[in-house]
Amino acid sequence: MTDQRPQYGELATPEEQRRAAGLPPIDQVVIESPAGQGPATPPGVPTGTKAAATRPHRVDRFATIALLAYGLINVVVTGLSYLDLPGVMNQTLEVLGVDAAFTNFEQGRTWGTIAAILLVVGWSITAALSIRRLRRGRITWWVPIAGAAATGLVVTVCIMVPMMNDPAFMEYLSTAGQ
Protein backbone atom coordinates (compact mmCIF):
# COMPACT_ATOMS: atom_id res chain seq x y z
CA MET A 1 0.00 0.00 0.00
CA THR A 2 1.42 3.39 -1.04
CA ASP A 3 1.42 6.49 1.09
CA GLN A 4 -1.37 8.87 -0.19
CA ARG A 5 -0.31 11.89 1.85
CA PRO A 6 0.00 15.14 -0.10
CA GLN A 7 3.41 16.29 -1.23
CA TYR A 8 4.93 19.57 -0.03
CA GLY A 9 2.81 22.56 -1.13
CA GLU A 10 0.00 20.57 -2.74
CA LEU A 11 -2.64 21.73 -0.28
CA ALA A 12 -1.06 25.01 0.79
CA THR A 13 -2.42 28.26 -0.55
CA PRO A 14 0.03 30.70 -2.14
CA GLU A 15 -0.16 32.83 1.04
CA GLU A 16 0.70 29.79 3.21
CA GLN A 17 3.58 28.88 0.90
CA ARG A 18 4.99 32.44 1.12
CA ARG A 19 4.71 32.40 4.93
CA ALA A 20 6.46 28.98 5.12
CA ALA A 21 9.26 30.32 2.91
CA GLY A 22 9.67 33.38 5.17
CA LEU A 23 8.44 35.84 2.54
CA PRO A 24 6.04 38.74 3.20
CA PRO A 25 2.42 38.45 2.02
CA ILE A 26 1.95 39.29 -1.67
CA ASP A 27 -0.14 42.40 -0.89
CA GLN A 28 2.80 43.88 1.06
CA VAL A 29 5.35 43.46 -1.75
CA VAL A 30 6.66 46.84 -2.92
CA ILE A 31 8.77 47.22 -6.05
CA GLU A 32 10.63 50.42 -6.81
CA SER A 33 9.68 51.86 -10.18
CA PRO A 34 12.57 52.06 -12.67
CA ALA A 35 12.50 55.88 -12.83
CA GLY A 36 12.80 56.17 -9.07
CA GLN A 37 9.27 57.57 -8.78
CA GLY A 38 8.54 55.62 -5.62
CA PRO A 39 6.96 52.26 -4.99
CA ALA A 40 4.95 50.54 -7.70
CA THR A 41 2.79 47.45 -7.65
CA PRO A 42 3.80 44.85 -10.22
CA PRO A 43 1.22 44.27 -12.95
CA GLY A 44 -1.28 41.57 -12.14
CA VAL A 45 -0.45 41.54 -8.44
CA PRO A 46 -3.42 42.36 -6.20
CA THR A 47 -2.87 45.01 -3.54
CA GLY A 48 -4.83 43.47 -0.71
CA THR A 49 -8.51 43.65 -0.02
CA LYS A 50 -8.98 46.68 -2.27
CA ALA A 51 -8.09 44.52 -5.29
CA ALA A 52 -10.86 42.08 -4.46
CA ALA A 53 -13.35 44.94 -4.21
CA THR A 54 -12.33 46.45 -7.57
CA ARG A 55 -12.53 43.32 -9.70
CA PRO A 56 -14.91 43.86 -12.62
CA HIS A 57 -18.28 42.18 -12.37
CA ARG A 58 -19.38 41.48 -15.93
CA VAL A 59 -22.99 40.61 -15.12
CA ASP A 60 -23.32 43.67 -12.90
CA ARG A 61 -21.81 45.89 -15.61
CA PHE A 62 -24.17 44.46 -18.24
CA ALA A 63 -27.22 44.82 -15.97
CA THR A 64 -26.31 48.39 -15.04
CA ILE A 65 -25.78 49.45 -18.65
CA ALA A 66 -28.99 47.71 -19.76
CA LEU A 67 -30.99 49.41 -16.99
CA LEU A 68 -29.50 52.81 -17.87
CA ALA A 69 -30.30 52.29 -21.56
CA TYR A 70 -33.87 51.27 -20.75
CA GLY A 71 -34.15 54.29 -18.47
CA LEU A 72 -32.89 56.62 -21.19
CA ILE A 73 -35.50 55.35 -23.64
CA ASN A 74 -38.16 55.72 -20.95
CA VAL A 75 -37.01 59.27 -20.13
CA VAL A 76 -37.17 60.33 -23.78
CA VAL A 77 -40.60 58.83 -24.46
CA THR A 78 -42.17 59.86 -21.15
CA GLY A 79 -40.52 63.28 -21.09
CA LEU A 80 -41.88 64.09 -24.54
CA SER A 81 -45.37 63.03 -23.49
CA TYR A 82 -45.17 65.16 -20.33
CA LEU A 83 -44.53 68.22 -22.50
CA ASP A 84 -48.16 67.75 -23.57
CA LEU A 85 -49.53 66.88 -20.14
CA PRO A 86 -53.10 68.06 -20.87
CA GLY A 87 -53.25 65.54 -23.72
CA VAL A 88 -51.92 62.79 -21.45
CA MET A 89 -54.46 63.72 -18.77
CA ASN A 90 -57.31 63.55 -21.30
CA GLN A 91 -56.16 60.06 -22.31
CA THR A 92 -55.99 59.08 -18.62
CA LEU A 93 -59.52 60.32 -17.99
CA GLU A 94 -60.71 58.40 -21.06
CA VAL A 95 -59.03 55.19 -19.85
CA LEU A 96 -60.64 55.65 -16.44
CA GLY A 97 -64.03 55.97 -18.14
CA VAL A 98 -64.58 59.57 -17.08
CA ASP A 99 -66.90 61.43 -19.42
CA ALA A 100 -65.12 64.77 -18.99
CA ALA A 101 -62.09 66.64 -20.30
CA PHE A 102 -59.01 67.88 -18.49
CA THR A 103 -59.34 71.65 -18.16
CA ASN A 104 -56.35 72.67 -16.01
CA PHE A 105 -54.23 73.50 -19.06
CA GLU A 106 -51.96 76.17 -17.59
CA GLN A 107 -50.83 74.10 -14.60
CA GLY A 108 -50.70 71.01 -16.82
CA ARG A 109 -48.21 72.60 -19.20
CA THR A 110 -46.11 74.11 -16.42
CA TRP A 111 -45.91 71.00 -14.23
CA GLY A 112 -45.54 68.73 -17.26
CA THR A 113 -42.47 70.71 -18.36
CA ILE A 114 -41.07 70.58 -14.82
CA ALA A 115 -41.67 66.82 -14.70
CA ALA A 116 -39.92 66.32 -18.06
CA ILE A 117 -36.90 68.34 -16.89
CA LEU A 118 -36.76 66.41 -13.61
CA LEU A 119 -36.82 63.12 -15.55
CA VAL A 120 -33.74 64.20 -17.50
CA VAL A 121 -31.96 65.50 -14.39
CA GLY A 122 -32.80 62.35 -12.41
CA TRP A 123 -31.54 60.07 -15.17
CA SER A 124 -28.36 62.14 -15.57
CA ILE A 125 -27.56 61.96 -11.86
CA THR A 126 -28.31 58.24 -11.82
CA ALA A 127 -26.09 57.63 -14.86
CA ALA A 128 -23.24 59.66 -13.35
CA LEU A 129 -23.40 57.79 -10.04
CA SER A 130 -23.61 54.44 -11.85
CA ILE A 131 -20.60 55.18 -14.07
CA ARG A 132 -18.62 56.34 -11.05
CA ARG A 133 -19.37 53.12 -9.16
CA LEU A 134 -18.64 50.97 -12.23
CA ARG A 135 -15.23 52.59 -12.61
CA ARG A 136 -14.47 51.83 -8.99
CA GLY A 137 -15.41 48.19 -9.51
CA ARG A 138 -18.36 48.26 -7.13
CA ILE A 139 -21.67 46.45 -7.48
CA THR A 140 -23.89 48.96 -9.26
CA TRP A 141 -27.03 47.28 -10.68
CA TRP A 142 -29.16 48.72 -7.88
CA VAL A 143 -28.26 52.36 -8.57
CA PRO A 144 -30.42 52.69 -11.74
CA ILE A 145 -33.33 51.05 -9.93
CA ALA A 146 -33.01 53.33 -6.90
CA GLY A 147 -32.53 56.37 -9.16
CA ALA A 148 -35.63 55.48 -11.18
CA ALA A 149 -37.68 55.03 -8.00
CA ALA A 150 -36.54 58.35 -6.51
CA THR A 151 -37.04 60.23 -9.77
CA GLY A 152 -40.42 58.57 -10.31
CA LEU A 153 -41.58 59.66 -6.88
CA VAL A 154 -40.63 63.29 -7.49
CA VAL A 155 -42.16 63.30 -10.99
CA THR A 156 -45.38 61.73 -9.68
CA VAL A 157 -45.76 64.60 -7.23
CA CYS A 158 -45.28 67.05 -10.12
CA ILE A 159 -48.01 65.31 -12.15
CA MET A 160 -50.36 65.15 -9.17
CA VAL A 161 -50.41 68.94 -8.75
CA PRO A 162 -52.37 69.75 -11.92
CA MET A 163 -54.35 66.52 -11.67
CA MET A 164 -55.62 67.28 -8.18
CA ASN A 165 -56.52 70.83 -9.20
CA ASP A 166 -58.60 69.72 -12.19
CA PRO A 167 -62.39 69.83 -11.62
CA ALA A 168 -63.10 66.82 -13.87
CA PHE A 169 -60.59 64.58 -12.10
CA MET A 170 -61.74 65.70 -8.65
CA GLU A 171 -65.35 64.97 -9.65
CA TYR A 172 -64.25 61.48 -10.73
CA LEU A 173 -62.51 60.91 -7.39
CA SER A 174 -65.54 62.03 -5.40
CA THR A 175 -67.88 59.68 -7.29
CA ALA A 176 -65.47 56.73 -7.72
CA GLY A 177 -66.10 55.33 -4.23
CA GLN A 178 -69.87 55.31 -4.59
Ranges of residues in the chain whose predicted pLDDT is under 50 = 49, 51-52
pLDDT of residue 81: 95
Domain assignment of residue 52, yes or no: no
Domain assignment of residue 44, yes or no: no
Long-range contacts (CB closer than 8 Å, 24 or more residues apart) made by 5-10: none
pLDDT of residue 39: 53
* Cβ contact 31:41 at 8 Å: yes
Domain assignment of residue 41, yes or no: no
Domain assignment of residue 5, yes or no: no
Domain assignment of residue 2, yes or no: no
pLDDT of residue 96: 84
Domain assignment of residue 157, yes or no: yes
pTM passes above 0.85: no
- Separation between Cα atoms, residue 130 and residue 124, nearest integer Å: 10
pLDDT of residue 134: 94
137 lies in which domain range?
57-176
Structural domain total, the chain: 1
Domain assignment of residue 16, yes or no: no
Long-range contacts (CB closer than 8 Å, 24 or more residues apart) made by 129-134: 130/64, 130/68, 134/61, 134/64
* Cβ contact 111:158 at 8 Å: yes
